């Protein structure tokens, strides 16, 4: 006979209906799901054969059918001797054409899974927006948090893959990630074997967990980085995904920001002694760091230009450039130099550095000899260039042979030296003066200038109707003439009794004989060249001959252009001369 029917087990999966004899009514419909959930689940009879009765399983008595407001559910059309098909363990979300009494199961919980990693190494020019996107799944949906970490400082612990342990060739350096898949951190060309303290495939300088910092407000699958700059170059970004079943992080995206050169080390101003060597140095950082570096020079008040390669030698080593100037002279003092760094993104110009040249004083203007009359004020000047600035002092000597002595209070500082002598006298005649310029590098002395104190002027005579006339010289003849043609300092009274015509050459008035013409003759100190008069006054006076005491200078015939002769004194206007000094 047929085995006894087994009661349906209460579990998450429906059991096949029990077999009934042909002459017994079918079992009533199963209890609603909520009633079944109240009963403790029974072990499913999955391991027992279909025709084996279930031992000790309670059988629901069909004495009284369960009343329910819901209409009875039709039993599936199956043969009593065959079990019903077992439904799948994961019901679909879509409703079936014929709803059943079994409840819909929720999706199984899953820990976070990275479906799409962020781009490993996005490259962007500074100022351009960077967008990073990931795809993460899990149940419940994970909470996302973007994080960043700055690259650790290189401590020399870069590691290599075994394939890099060749005698030469490119070596790729890897860093581990939380997913277990390493990413390429950098690549470089190295030679030689792997050092003994390096472990291939393992890096010691990747960011540690405590180095990662949350990006405020970045909790979606997309991160937008606006206007990245140099500070973000090499920064790592990742997403941290978390749900109740676990946490996972993406592989990091390493941002490469290309930016124009930025000056790291400005050239410094340089001071050098004349003839020495000056060196300027400047450094910049850039990405790409392949840069061209040029130097420019500007003289004071001028425009920037290329330096003279005859004295300027530029050198470049990596991101550092130097400019060497040799044989520097005073003419370069005050020049400015700057460096211009250029890469494919842009350029940067350093601040200018100034070249200061030190040299000992150099005379640029010699003092000039001065001629003055008694009582005049005279001034001597001299100039010298020097760096550092020079001090100066004046010295004097009675003759070219010296001795030289310092003049009290005749000192100063600067490039221009001046000396003023007030109220000079005939005793100052032929005194020499010079200036001495001194700085920490040395001193220089100017040439000597001579002070000539002369009593010089012109002779005037009033000839009545002929007017005022002056003594003028025509060859060796001396006569009355137009005062406009008479030098204001043409005649000198040196104080030795002579009257000197200050022409070229100098000659003296000479009385040849009484009643004869007075001529010019080389000065020889003879008695015929001696005259008596007072050169200190401009009043009209007679000028007596030292050789012929009764005779005086006279304008012949009181003529406007009469000769100068020696004549007996008679007191006429043509014998009255005024000595006029400027």
Residue 441 in tokens: 């590098």
**Is omega for the bond preceding 140 within 30 degrees of 0, making it cis?**
yes
Going by pLDDT thresholds of 50, 70 and 90, the confidence category of residue 79 is: very low
Range with lowest mean pLDDT among 164-173, 555-564, 573-582: 164-173
From the CB of residue 491, how many other CB atoms can be counted at a distance below 10 Å? 25
For residue 330, pLDDT beyond 50 = yes
Residue 49 CB partners (closer than 8 Å, separation 6+): none
- Taking the C-alpha atoms of residue 321 and residue 284, their distance in angstroms, rounded to an integer, is 9
- The mean pLDDT of 159-188, rounded to a whole number, is 36
Residue 314 in tokens: 């530029």
- The mean pLDDT of 412-420, rounded to a whole number, is 98
Whole-number pLDDT of residue 44? 44
Q: What percent of the chain is modeled with pLDDT above 90?
A: 66
Contacts for 497-501 with beta carbons within 8 Å, 24 or more apart?
Answer: 497/529, 497/530, 497/531, 497/532, 497/546, 498/523, 498/525, 498/529, 498/530, 498/531, 499/529, 499/531, 499/543, 501/473
**Is omega for the bond preceding 288 within 30 degrees of 0, making it cis?**
yes
**Residue in the block written with tokens 């927006």:** 129
Is the separation of the CB atoms in 556 and 563 below 8 Å?
yes
Whole-number pLDDT of residue 107? 86
Closest Cα to residue 209, out of 130, 147, 280? 147
- The mean pLDDT of 269-277, rounded to a whole number, is 97
- Taking the C-alpha atoms of residue 169 and residue 158, their distance in angstroms, rounded to an integer, is 16
> CATH number of the domain at 366-453, please?
2.60.40.10
Give, in words, the CATH class of 113-258.
Answer: mainly beta
**Residue in the block written with tokens 């420019």:** 296
Whole-number pLDDT of residue 96? 53
Going by pLDDT thresholds of 50, 70 and 90, the confidence category of residue 106 is: confident
Kindly report the CA angle at 498 between 539 and 514, in degrees rounded to 5?
85
- Taking the C-alpha atoms of residue 230 and residue 259, their distance in angstroms, rounded to an integer, is 6
- Taking the C-alpha atoms of residue 515 and residue 556, their distance in angstroms, rounded to an integer, is 10
Q: Is 21 exposed, middle or buried (0-12, 13-18, 19+ CB in 10 A)?
A: exposed
From the CB of residue 152, how many other CB atoms can be counted at a distance below 10 Å? 17
Range with lowest mean pLDDT among 103-112, 388-397, 430-439: 103-112
Going by pLDDT thresholds of 50, 70 and 90, the confidence category of residue 153 is: confident
- The mean pLDDT of 60-68, rounded to a whole number, is 46
Residue 201 in tokens: 């495939």
- Taking the C-alpha atoms of residue 546 and residue 328, their distance in angstroms, rounded to an integer, is 68
Q: What is the pLDDT of residues 181-225, one digit of tens each?
A: 333 333 332 333 434 444 333 444 678 999 999 999 999 999 999
Q: Give the 3-state secondary structure percentages of the chain, helix then strand then coil, rounded to 5.
A: 5, 40, 55
For residue 446, pLDDT beyond 80 = yes
Residue 434 in tokens: 């010079």
Residue 39 or residue 542, greater confidence:
542
For residue 438, pLDDT beyond 70 = yes
Q: Note whether 264-358 and 456-580 share their fold.
A: no
For residue 534, pLDDT beyond 80 = yes
Range with lowest mean pLDDT among 35-49, 110-124, 426-440, 540-554: 35-49
User: Rounded to two decimals, what is the model's pTM?
Assistant: 0.57
- The mean pLDDT of 233-256, rounded to a whole number, is 96
Whole-number pLDDT of residue 2? 43
Whole-number pLDDT of residue 3? 41
Residue 151 or residue 325, greater confidence:
325
Backbone angles phi, psi at 35, to 5 degrees: -75, -35
Range with lowest mean pLDDT among 79-93, 321-335, 525-539, 560-574: 79-93
Q: Whole-number mean pLDDT of the chain? A: 81
- For the four alpha carbons of 422, 426, 427 and 432, in that order, the dihedral sign comes to positive
Whole-number pLDDT of residue 101? 58
- Taking the C-alpha atoms of residue 243 and residue 206, their distance in angstroms, rounded to an integer, is 26
- The mean pLDDT of 430-456, rounded to a whole number, is 96
For residue 65, pLDDT beyond 50 = no
For residue 100, pLDDT beyond 70 = no
Is the separation of the CB atoms in 143 and 201 below 8 Å?
no
- Taking the C-alpha atoms of residue 209 and residue 268, their distance in angstroms, rounded to an integer, is 43
Task: Among 2.60.210.10, 3.40.50.1370, 3.40.50.10420, 2.60.40.10, name the CATH number for the domain at 264-358.
Answer: 2.60.40.10
Whole-number pLDDT of residue 486? 94
**Residue in the block written with tokens 């407000």:** 217
Range with lowest mean pLDDT among 65-74, 237-246, 396-405: 65-74
Residue 107 or residue 411, greater confidence:
411
Whole-number pLDDT of residue 495? 87
Whole-number pLDDT of residue 94? 54
- For the four alpha carbons of 521, 522, 528 and 529, in that order, the dihedral sign comes to positive
- The mean pLDDT of 433-447, rounded to a whole number, is 98
For residue 42, pLDDT beyond 70 = no
Q: What is the pLDDT of residues 27-37, one digit of tens each?
A: 444 444 444 44
Closest Cα to residue 19, out of 79, 67, 99? 79
Whole-number pLDDT of residue 104? 77
Q: What percent of the chain is modeled with pLDDT above 70?
A: 73
Residue 241 CB partners (closer than 8 Å, separation 6+): 112, 114, 136, 138, 142, 143, 144, 247, 248, 249, 250
For residue 528, pLDDT beyond 70 = yes
- The mean pLDDT of 218-245, rounded to a whole number, is 96
Domain ranges of the chain: 1-106, 113-258, 264-358, 366-453, 456-580
Task: Dump the DSSP string for 370-418.
Answer: EEE-TT--EEEEEEEEEESPPEEEEEEESSTT---EEEEEEEEESSEEE
- The mean pLDDT of 336-364, rounded to a whole number, is 97
Residue 7 or residue 222, greater confidence:
222
Domain 456-580 has CATH 2.60.40.1930: no
462's enclosing H/E stretch is strand 456-462
């Amino acid at each position: 006979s047929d085995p006894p029917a087994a009661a349906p087990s209460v579990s998450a999966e429906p059991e096949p209906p029990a077999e009934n004899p042909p002459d017994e009514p079918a079992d009533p419909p199963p209890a609603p799901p909520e009633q079944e959930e109240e009963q403790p689940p029974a072990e499913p009879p999955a391991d027992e054969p279909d025709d084996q009765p279930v031992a000790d399983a309670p059988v629901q008595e069909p004495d009284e059918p369960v009343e329910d407001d819901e209409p009875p559910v039709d039993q599936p059309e199956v043969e009593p001797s065959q079990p019903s098909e077992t439904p799948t363990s994961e019901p679909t979300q879509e409703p079936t054409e014929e709803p059943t009494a079994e409840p819909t199961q929720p999706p199984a919980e899953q820990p976070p899974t990275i479906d799409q990693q962020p781009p490993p190494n996005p490259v962007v020019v500074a100022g351009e927006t960077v967008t990073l996107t990931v795809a993460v799944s899990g149940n419940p949906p994970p909470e996302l948090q973007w994080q960043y970490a700055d690259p650790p400082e290189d401590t020399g612990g870069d590691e290599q893959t075994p394939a890099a342990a060749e005698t030469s060739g490119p070596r790729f350096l890897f860093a581990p990630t939380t997913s277990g898949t390493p990413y390429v951190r950098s690549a470089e060309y190295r030679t030689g074997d792997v050092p003994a303290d390096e472990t291939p495939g393992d890096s010691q300088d990747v960011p540690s967990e405590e180095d990662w910092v949350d990006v405020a407000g970045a909790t979606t699958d997309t991160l937008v980085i606006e206007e990245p700059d140099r500070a973000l170059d090499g920064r790592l970004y990742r997403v941290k995904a978390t749900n109740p079943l676990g946490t996972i992080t993406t592989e990091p995206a390493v941002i490469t920001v290309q930016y124009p050169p930025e000056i790291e080390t400005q050239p410094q101003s340089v001071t050098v002694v004349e003839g020495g060597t000056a060196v300027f140095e400047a450094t910049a950082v850039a990405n790409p760091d392949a840069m061209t570096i040029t130097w420019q020079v500007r003289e004071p008040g001028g425009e920037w230009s290329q330096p003279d390669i005859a004295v300027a030698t530029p050198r470049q080593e990596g991101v550092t450039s130097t400019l060497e100037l040799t044989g520097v002279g005073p003419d370069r003092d005050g020049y400015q130099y700057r460096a211009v760094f250029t890469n494919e993104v842009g350029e940067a110009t350093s601040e200018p550095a100034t070249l200061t040249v030190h040299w000992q004083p150099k005379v640029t203007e010699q003092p000039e000899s001065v001629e003055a009359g008694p009582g005049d004020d005279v001034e001597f000047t001299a100039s010298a260039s020097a760096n550092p600035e020079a001090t100066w002092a004046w010295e004097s000597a009675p003759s070219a042979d010296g001795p030289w002595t310092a003049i009290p209070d005749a000192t100063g500082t600067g490039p221009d030296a001046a000396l003023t002598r007030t109220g000079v006298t005939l005793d100052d005649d032929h005194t020499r003066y010079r200036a001495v310029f001194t700085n920490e590098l040395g001193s220089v002395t100017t040439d000597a200038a001579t002070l000539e104190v002369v009593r010089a002027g012109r002779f005037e005579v009033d000839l009545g109707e002929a007017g005022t006339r002056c003594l003028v010289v025509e060859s060796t003849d001396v006569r009355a003439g137009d005062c406009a043609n008479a030098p204001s300092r043409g005649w000198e009274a040196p104080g030795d009794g002579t009257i000197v015509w200050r022409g070229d050459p100098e000659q003296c008035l000479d009385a040849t004989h009484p009643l004869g013409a007075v001529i010019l003759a080389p000065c020889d100190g003879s008695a015929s060249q001696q005259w008596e008069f007072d050169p200190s006054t401009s009043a009209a006076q007679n000028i007596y001959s030292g050789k012929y005491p009764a005779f005086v200078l006279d304008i012949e015939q009181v003529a406007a252009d009469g000769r100068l002769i020696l004549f007996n004194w008679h007191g006429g206007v043509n014998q009255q001369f005024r000595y006029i000094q400027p």
